């Protein structure tokens, strides 16, 4: 018997090898490893992990099935709560959710819930186990805007209840941030995302790509002219933010969104595809979130020498611990307590270098993190040819500005009730980054679930 | 999939296509653009809308062969399909929000260069349909490169073709035609200039001197076209604007054209630029953002 205090280790690509390819970093468990890890679950009566999960998966329930080797049953247990387990098993911040409250974790390491979820989901994809759809359709039409995590979850849940659901996607591929944002080496597009979306299609959900709501049509028109009785907005985060420092429009300064979209959605890393990307020889990524880690590790794989420039210290990095760990293993250098002051540009508009200033931490600010303060006179130049700004996003006004009676808050996020997703406009529900600002895949999925429940209650109450 | 219902060569390296895209055709307005993607591995290419037919559900696009992607695109024929076709993107021209009666009192001058005639056409047409006659200057290197002449004549108040080599119409750049018209006593309340960036820059320098407010339509490098990536950002006065969601039309007197031209060169290697200059020689007008002709 293995050490019950420790997780069964998961096999990964060697850091030196993977730093030069876009193949998935983590190989995941095999059947034997998964069954062994499942033994570690204490099957708590009052399971804290379920409460720690934004979509309340019956975690001890599915792990019990894994322990018995009934993977198809395990998939059904997860399927009651989540339509996208192969994705969540890979990108959820388990350490701060289910695994963060696991009783095993009090003494030793928590159960490796994420890796088990991934194993079950991958097994279901490989063995083509179908999700359980509705017994019969109820005839009500619902539109879902955006095919990212919140939209897919909302659409899947509504389809299971018998609704006739159509998802409208602005881009040419389905998946939202799962395809344009999260890189291949963390979340394979064909092997995982496309196949998991295929499962949502099997539930009866219809998809229409290249429809930009607010431009190609509006929510009001969908409801008035096309007969949709309710709409869920899961349009995601929006416009990338820049620092507003001199030289920011130089050639070679990109938003992380642009850099990642070129590489992930347009597959610019693959020479067979037409979209270009500037790899850079020496790249600075400004920011410390998961998106910054994704951009840094992408640049690294394209052959660059990569530095993360972050204004606080390591303890404050908003990125997942695993992502920081992987980035370091692969050779990303962290320039902590540094902040860019200006980007120095040559006569052709290209980056020559970036001036940074040293920072120190003061009193905690509104976010609860210690406020970074400049150290006077500590500026110096770092030689870079590419700068990737990963500072977050501000909401895209395309939908809010074209929908009558839809309220937004001061930050221009759509105002929606947390429990039901209900907005100020009758029949319109919303969730995910469009409501909260940039957050995580699983929180968006939680909001998608809430929205599906809210829409179901609304349409049922209208029938009476 | 989006069917090409008509494909036509307008001039050397310039092509016109009608594409069936009912959602776009149902909602587009003058000034907006579309993004097309030929096949799975293709780029997303922003193109201005030249015309639309709401009943037939078609959009007319006009493009110039300037790089690998547009060259590949020019081989598409009637009956072929685009894998993706999305829009309308960007904001419509500002005048469409104005009262047509008050627009009648304003004298509008359109200045188009090269394929810039395509996005000017629906604007002049929109005005004509509301009884407003605008003057239109269209410039090209030589007579054979002038496009949409009959169409433009039908919707313009006065139509002034210009050729750099003097082979047709006014001999000289579009800026010299503007100067001439103003010298002759024409008064314009607003100028709309669409064409290569270098042309728009010089039109703006002139109209600033002449005191004519000027709108330009920018076509920088873009990826998604919905505000997500920021590749298309421009310095406009003190602000950074995204051409895809804030534009594509801006106050030309505030746009930093020099920066925009440098940004449009970002993906060009020195060798690639030299080769294109060699291939295209003097037929090339620049402004496409792909070839280096703006330098």
Whether A239 and B259 lie within 8 Å, measured CB to CB = no
Tally Cβ neighbours within 10 Å of residue B281.
8
Mean model confidence pLDDT for chain B: 89
Judged against a pLDDT cut of 80, whether residue B293 lies above it is answered with: no
Judged against a pLDDT cut of 60, whether residue B294 lies above it is answered with: no
Mean model confidence pLDDT for chain A: 93
The pLDDT assigned to B287 comes to: 47
The pLDDT assigned to A135 comes to: 84
Contact A111, A104 (CB under 8 A): yes
Judged against a pLDDT cut of 80, whether residue A87 lies above it is answered with: yes
pLDDT in tens, A120-141: 999 999 998 888 888 889 999 9
Tally Cβ neighbours within 10 Å of residue A436.
21
CB contact B24 to A (< 8 Å): yes
What 3-state DSSP class applies to B162? strand
The pLDDT assigned to B53 comes to: 96
Judged against a pLDDT cut of 90, whether residue B84 lies above it is answered with: yes
Q: Is B35 exposed, middle or buried (0-12, 13-18, 19+ CB in 10 A)?
A: buried
Q: What angle do CA A240, B93, B254 make, to 5 degrees?
A: 60
Distance (Å) from the C-alpha of residue A273 to the closest C-alpha of chain B? 5
pLDDT band at B6 (very low <50, low <70, confident <90, very high): very high
Distance (Å) from the C-alpha of residue B41 to the closest C-alpha of chain A? 5
Mean pLDDT of B258-269: 85
**Alpha-carbon gap, residue A141 to A351, rounded angstroms:** 52
The pLDDT assigned to A91 comes to: 85
CB contact B29 to A (< 8 Å): no
Tally Cβ neighbours within 10 Å of residue A6.
11
Size of interface A-B (CB pairs under 8 A): 110
Distance (Å) from the C-alpha of residue B23 to the closest C-alpha of chain A? 6
pLDDT-above-90 percentage for chain A: 78
The pLDDT assigned to A365 comes to: 83
- A361 sits in which H/E element: strand A351-364
The pLDDT assigned to B290 comes to: 44
Kindly list the residues of chain A whose beta carbon comes within 8 Å of any beta carbon in chain B: 170-172, 180, 209-212, 215-217, 238-240, 242, 244, 248-249, 251-252, 254-255, 257-258, 261-262, 265-267, 272-276, 278, 348-349, 396-398
Of chain B residues 212-241, which have a CB less than 8 A from chain A? 223-224, 226-231, 233-235, 240
pLDDT band at B101 (very low <50, low <70, confident <90, very high): confident
A311 closest CA partner among A242, A374, A354 = A374
Whether B240 and A272 lie within 8 Å, measured CB to CB = no
pLDDT in tens, B187-215: 999 999 999 999 999 999 999 999 999 99
Nearest chain A residue to B256, by CA: A249
Of B87, B233, B262, the CB nearest to A216: B87
pLDDT in tens, B116-137: 999 999 999 999 999 999 999 9
pLDDT in tens, A451-462: 999 999 999 998
Mean pLDDT of A199-203: 92
**Alpha-carbon gap, residue A369 to B170, rounded angstroms:** 67
Give this prediction's pTM.
0.90
B247 closest CA partner among B273, B226, B269, B223 = B226
The pLDDT assigned to B289 comes to: 46
Whether B43 and A275 lie within 8 Å, measured CB to CB = yes
pLDDT-above-90 percentage for chain B: 82
Distance (Å) from the C-alpha of residue A48 to the closest C-alpha of chain B? 38
A148 closest CA partner among A453, A447, A450 = A447
pLDDT band at B31 (very low <50, low <70, confident <90, very high): very high
The pLDDT assigned to A334 comes to: 97
The pLDDT assigned to B295 comes to: 39
pLDDT band at A245 (very low <50, low <70, confident <90, very high): very high
Give exposure, A399-435, as e/b (b: 16+ Cβ within 10 Å): bbebbeebebeeeebbebbeebbbbebebbbbbbbbb
Contact B50, B61 (CB under 8 A): yes
pLDDT in tens, A299-332: 999 999 999 999 999 999 999 888 999 999 999 9
CA distances from A386 to A240, A309, A346, A392, B177 (A): 17, 13, 13, 18, 43
Judged against a pLDDT cut of 70, whether residue A1 lies above it is answered with: no
A241 closest CA partner among A389, A436, A386 = A389
Mean pLDDT of A106-112: 93
Whether A172 and B44 lie within 8 Å, measured CB to CB = yes
Q: Is A130 exposed, middle or buried (0-12, 13-18, 19+ CB in 10 A)?
A: exposed
pLDDT in tens, A407-430: 999 888 999 999 999 999 999 999
The pLDDT assigned to B268 comes to: 74
Contact B192, B174 (CB under 8 A): no
- B250 sits in which H/E element: strand B249-251
**Alpha-carbon gap, residue A223 to B72, rounded angstroms:** 40
Nearest chain A residue to B242, by CA: A239
Nearest chain A residue to B238, by CA: A244
CA atoms within 13 A on the CB side of B248: 29
Whether B228 and A240 lie within 8 Å, measured CB to CB = yes
The pLDDT assigned to B276 comes to: 53
**Alpha-carbon gap, residue A232 to A222, rounded angstroms:** 12
Judged against a pLDDT cut of 60, whether residue A161 lies above it is answered with: yes
Q: 3-state SS string over A298-313? A: HHHHCCCEEEEEECCC
Distance (Å) from the C-alpha of residue B154 to the closest C-alpha of chain A? 29
pLDDT band at A271 (very low <50, low <70, confident <90, very high): confident
Contact A232, A142 (CB under 8 A): yes
The pLDDT assigned to B269 comes to: 62
pLDDT band at A284 (very low <50, low <70, confident <90, very high): very high
> How do A351-364 and B159-163 pair as beta strands?
unpaired
Sign of the alpha-carbon dihedral angle for A404, A409, A413, A416: negative
């Amino acid at each position: 018997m293995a050490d019950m205090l420790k997780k069964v280790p998961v096999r990964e690509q060697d850091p030196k090898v993977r730093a030069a390819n876009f193949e998935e970093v983590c190989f995941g468990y095999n059947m034997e490893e998964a069954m062994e890890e499942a033994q570690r679950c204490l099957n708590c009566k009052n399971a804290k992990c379920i409460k720690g999960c934004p979509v309340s998966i019956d975690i001890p329930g599915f792990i019990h099935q894994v322990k018995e080797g009934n993977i198809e049953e395990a998939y059904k247990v997860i399927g009651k709560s989540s339509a996208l387990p192969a994705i969540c098993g890979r990108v959820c911040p388990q350490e701060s959710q289910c695994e963060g409250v696991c009783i095993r974790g009090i003494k030793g390491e928590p159960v490796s819930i994420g890796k088990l979820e991934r194993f079950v989901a991958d097994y279901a994809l490989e063995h083509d186990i179908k999700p359980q759809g509705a017994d019969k359709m109820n005839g009500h039409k619902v539109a879902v805007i955006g095919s990212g995590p919140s939209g897919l979850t909302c659409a899947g849940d509504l389809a299971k209840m018998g609704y006739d659901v159509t998802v409208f996607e602005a881009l040419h591929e389905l998946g939202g941030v799962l395809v344009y944002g999260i890189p291949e080496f963390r979340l394979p597009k064909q092997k995982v995302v496309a196949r998991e979306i295929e499962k949502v299609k099997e539930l009866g959900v219809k998809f229409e790509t290249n429809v930009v709501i607010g431009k190609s049509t509006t929510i009001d028109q969908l409801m008035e002219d096309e007969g949709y009785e309710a709409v869920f907005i899961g349009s995601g985060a929006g416009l990338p933010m820049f620092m507003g420092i001199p030289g920011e429009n130089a050639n070679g300064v990109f938003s992380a969104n642009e850099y990642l979209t070129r590489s992930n959605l347009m597959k610019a890393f693959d020479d067979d595809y037409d979209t270009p990307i500037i790899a850079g020889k020496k790249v600075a990524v400004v920011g410390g979130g998961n998106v910054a880690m994704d951009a840094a590790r992408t640049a690294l794989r394209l052959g660059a020498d990569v530095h993360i420039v972050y204004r606080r210290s390591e303890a404050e990095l908003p990125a997942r611990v695993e992502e920081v760990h992987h980035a370091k293993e692969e050779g990303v250098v962290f320039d902590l307590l540094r902040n860019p002051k200006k980007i120095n540009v040559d006569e052709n508009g290209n980056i020559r270098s970036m001036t940074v200033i040293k920072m120190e931490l003061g009193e905690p600010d509104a976010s609860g993190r210690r406020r970074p303060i400049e150290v006077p006179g500590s500026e110096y130049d770092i030689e870079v040819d590419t700068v990737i700004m990963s500072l977050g996003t501000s909401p895209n006004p395309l939908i809010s500005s074209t929908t009558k009676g839809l309220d937004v808050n001061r930050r221009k996020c759509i105002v929606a009730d947390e429990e039901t997703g209900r907005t100020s406009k009758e029949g319109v529900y919303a969730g995910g980054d469009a409501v909260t600002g940039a957050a995580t895949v699983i929180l968006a999925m939680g909001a998608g679930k809430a929205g599906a429940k809210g829409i179901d209650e609304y349409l049922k109450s209208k029938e009476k | 999939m989006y069917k090409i219902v008509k494909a036509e060569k307008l001039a050397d390296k310039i092509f016109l296509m009608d594409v069936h895209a009912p959602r776009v055709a149902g909602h587009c307005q003058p000034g907006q653009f579309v993004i097309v993607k030929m096949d799975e591995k293709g780029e997303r290419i922003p193109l201005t809308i030249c015309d639309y037919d709401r009943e037939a559900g078609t959009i007319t696009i006009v493009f110039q062969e300037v790089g690998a992607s547009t060259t590949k695109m020019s081989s598409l024929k009637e009956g072929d399909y685009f894998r993706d076709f999305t829009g309308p993107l960007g904001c419509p021209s500002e005048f469409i929000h104005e009262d047509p009666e008050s627009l009648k009192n304003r004298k509008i001058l359109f200045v188009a260069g090269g394929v810039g005639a395509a996005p000017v056409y629906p604007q002049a047409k929109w005005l004509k349909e509301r009884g407003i006659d605008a003057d239109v200057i269209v410039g090209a290197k030589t007579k054979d490169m002038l496009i949409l002449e009959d169409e433009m004549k039908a919707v313009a108040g006065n139509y002034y073709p210009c050729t750099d080599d003097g082979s047709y119409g006014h001999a000289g750049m579009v800026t010299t035609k503007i100067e001439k018209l103003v010298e002759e006593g024409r008064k314009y309340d607003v100028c709309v200039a669409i064409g290569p960036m270098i042309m728009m820059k010089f039109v703006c320098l002139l109209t600033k001197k002449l005191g004519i407010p000027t709108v330009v339509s920018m076509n920088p490098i873009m990826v998604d076209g919905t505000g997500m990536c920021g590749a298309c950002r421009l310095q406009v006065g003190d602000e950074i604007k995204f051409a895809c969601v804030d534009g594509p039309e801006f106050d030309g007197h505030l746009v930093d054209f020099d920066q925009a031209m440098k940004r449009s060169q970002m993906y060009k290697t020195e060798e690639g630029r030299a080769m294109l200059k060699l291939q295209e020689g003097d037929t090339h007008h620049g402004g496409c953002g792909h070839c280096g002709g703006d330098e």
